[in-house]
Amino acid sequence: MDKIRSIYWDTSCFICFLNRREAERRLICDDILRHAQRNELKIYTSTYTIAEVIRPKNKDIPNSRKLTPPEISKVGDMFRWKWLIKIDVDQRVAFKAVELSRDFGLSPADAVHAASAILWKLEELQAWDRDFSPIKHLIDCENPKRLTAQLDIEADDLPQIAPIGPSPEDFDELISGPTA
């Protein structure tokens, strides 16, 4: 029996999944999530990710607004998927994050994600537009990649399948800003 691959998702993966301006990245994230739902791989993320996704950085979008309670509920439901494994930010994670931030210059948030992935001995940390290169010797860090064979059709021509979670249409322009 083959070992099931275990990956860590940084907040940027979830934001791309919810972002209407990220159609290509959303399809990749959707594909990975479907594999996790079928127990073909395990996706881990920090409980800190929940807070980051609920209030993403939209400094490049003038007059950006906060999520409404119904929107927060939809995003929150995504983090209740049984097949998405949450890692609590405990003292062990916090102290490892301090060490990674100090030694490798990671932001506190990125250090929490890296510490979680490293301490849980996950195979890979996946993130979009993040620079985890200073810790590549501690854990593989990559952009998410499609697991299902690439289809030679445009995103608009894909067969319509039931959504795996909230879609960009569930939100106005809130989560449509840049991910970095």
Q: How many domains does the chain have?
A: 1
121 occurs within a structural domain: yes
pLDDT digits (tens, 9 = 90+) for 53-105: 887 555 555 556 677 888 888 889 999 999 999 999 999 999 999 999 999 99
Strand partners, 101: none
pLDDT digits (tens, 9 = 90+) for 97-118: 999 999 999 999 999 999 999 9
96 occurs within a structural domain: yes
- At 35, the pLDDT band (50, 70, 90 cuts) reads very high
43 occurs within a structural domain: yes
CB atoms within 10 A of CB 123: 14
155 occurs within a structural domain: no
Beta-carbon contacts of 151 under 8 Å, excluding residues fewer than 6 positions away, are 158
- The helix/strand/coil state of 43 is strand
Please give the residue range of the domain that contains residue 41: 5-150
161 occurs within a structural domain: no
104 occurs within a structural domain: yes
Q: Of how many residues is the chain composed?
A: 180
Strand partners, 8: 44, 125
pLDDT digits (tens, 9 = 90+) for 122-140: 999 999 988 899 999 999 9
DSSP annotation of 94: H
Helices (H), 69-161: 69-78, 91-104, 108-119
Domain CATH for 69: 3.40.50.1010
- Kindly state the helix (H) or strand (E) to which residue 37 belongs, with its residue range: helix 23-37
157 occurs within a structural domain: no
